[in-house]
Amino acid sequence: MDDKIATSAEAYEADALPRCYDNRPEGEELSTDHVTDKPAKAKSPAEWAYERLILYIQKFEATLDSDHEVAMGFAGGDTGVIRIEGMGFFEPDIVTFYGTDGTGARTQLVQHVTQLSVMLRATPKLVETAEPQRIGFRLRRDLEKTSQQEAEA
């Protein structure tokens, strides 16, 4: 406990902000920054889950070397792994992942936020000469641009 004195408004705001505790083996904390400026209470469960997944993917990709990309394993089943190439959400409660499976087949997972359970995995990149794909940063940039366009409208 610290000795900082907070006003009622600051205490109320701190209570409304999302909390995150993540004891990562790399010793780096997971950012609790919002991907957009939209308040958490104004986001649907799908949008909120989508934004937090982007933060997890970005942090995971930061630990990868240039020979690996992020993929997603399915928790709770033996359905394989998707090399994540895109993500989306459908309000109020659906998150979807796009990519390819181990055989190269196009794959899409549609999941309700209450059933969301994914495992991020490092997988060798497909093409030896190509740079590894880092989708976390692209997803965040796209969402920030969309949020900015909505604010201007």
Q: pLDDT at residue 50 above 50?
A: yes
More confident residue, 29 or 111: 111
pLDDT of residue 23: 46
Grouping H, G, I as helix, E, B as strand and the rest as coil, residue 73 is: strand
Q: pLDDT at residue 21 above 50?
A: no
- Its pTM stands at 0.65
How far is the C-alpha of 49 from the C-alpha of 95, rounded, in Å?
8
Contact of 136 with 61, CB cutoff 8 Å? yes
Which whole-number Å values give the CA distances from 58 to 6, 35, 52, 114, in the listed order?
A: 32, 11, 10, 22
Is the C-alpha dihedral spanning 32, 38, 41, 46 positive or negative?
negative
